[in-house]
Amino acid sequence: MTESALKIDIADRIARVTINRPEAMNAVNGELHRALSRVFIDLGERRDIAAIVLTGAGRAFCAGGDIEWMREAVREPEGFEVVTWEAKRIVYSMLDCEIPIIGRINGDAVGLGATLALLCDITVMSEDARIGDPHVRVGLNAADGGGFLWPQMIGFAKARELLLTGDLLSASEAKQLGAIGNVVPAGELDTKVESFVAKLKNGAAKAIRWTKAGYTIPLRQLAHGHMDAGTAYECLTNLTQDHHEAIEAFASKRKPVFTGR
């Protein structure tokens, strides 16, 4: 299961999954996206794991899509069809995995990174981290799960605002709105995470697993109702001039000029 962009360590009935591109703020490229689409299926099959801890290496949890990867999708849009299929597998597999997932959100969780965080069952976030879904800022539809997750987590009023503007929330704002369960100083992150690990490891494994299987039913229904249309719209926005402009502006470190085309 271990790939260079995704590190998996399993010991003492705990699987620790680390997004491992610290040189790029753990931005998602093709290799990482493929690995994320498989890892929770592989881990979910195991009966010897009490909990999964998902985190990022270095300063970020996950900074969203890698700019060169997005450029590649513009050059070869047919390949983006595979990416959207993988995106559905990431969302479905995290919800289908009966093993509880603890999000150790050590830094910014942006775009797909925010979706990964929201899909975790228990979340512990560093107080200096931010979270949000700025797909629209790069001219893309918010299709990797944010479109149905944010309204469910924080309510439609604020979720619509955030999805349409791409604004990020501070950790304290995210906790206040209900997107994140726990916010602690960076130095206390591991202590808080390990307190949850201990509770899950020492708990009744089948009761915990099947409790998750129960409360994820409405989210799984929403996911299957949303993801096909969402990813289709994302394929369309991948072809737009505004998206192309956003990529080049980001690479040039300038503000994009959108024309609505």
CATH number of the structural domain spanning residue 10: 3.90.226.10
Cβ atoms of 42 and 78 closer than 8 Å:
no
Distance, in Å, from the CA atom of 240 to the CA atom of 237, rounded to the nearest integer, reads 5
Residue at 116 is within a domain: yes
Cα maximum dimension of the chain: 56
What is the residue range of 75's domain?
6-187
pLDDT score, position 1: 45
- Residue 23 domain-assigned? yes
pLDDT at 33 over 60: yes
Based on the structure, what is the number of domains in the chain?
1
Residue 175 domain-assigned? yes
Instruction: Identify the pLDDT of residue 3.
Output: 61
Cα torsion 75, 81, 82, 87: sign: positive
Residue at 171 is within a domain:
yes
Q: Is there a domain that residue 231 lies in?
A: no
> Which residues on neighbouring strands pair with residue 53, listed in sequence order?
16, 102
Paired residues of 23 in beta bridges: none
Average pLDDT of the chain to the nearest whole number: 96
Q: Is residue 200 part of a domain?
A: no
Q: Encode burial over 37-60: b for 16+ CB neighbours within 10 A, e otherwise.
A: bbbbbebbeeeebbbbbbbbbbbb
The answer to whether the CB of 115 falls within 8 A of the CB of 234 is no
Q: Output phi, psi for 64, to 5 deg.
A: 90, -155
C-alpha distances (whole Å) from 162 to each of 142, 210, 227 are: 11, 33, 19
Task: Tell me: pLDDT of 234 over 90.
Answer: yes
How high is the pLDDT of residue 53? 99
Across 227-245, average pLDDT:
96
Mean pLDDT value across residues 138-149 = 94
- What pLDDT, in 10s, does the model give residues 38-83? 999 999 999 999 999 999 999 999 999 999 999 999 999 988 889 9
| Per-residue pLDDT reduced to its tens digit, 178-205 | 999 999 999 999 999 999 999 999 999 9
pTM of the model: 0.96
Convert the pLDDT of each residue in 83-141 to its tens digit: 999 999 999 999 999 999 999 999 999 999 999 999 999 999 999 999 999 999 999 99
Q: Is position 246 within any domain?
A: no
| End-to-end CA, the chain | 41
From 96, 97, 129, 132, select the one nearest 112 (Cα to Cα): 132
Whole-number percent of the chain with pLDDT over 70: 99
Question: Could you tell me if residue 106 is inside a domain?
Answer: yes
Which tokens belong to 57?
A: 């290496």
Please say if the pLDDT value at position 2 is more than 60.
Answer: no
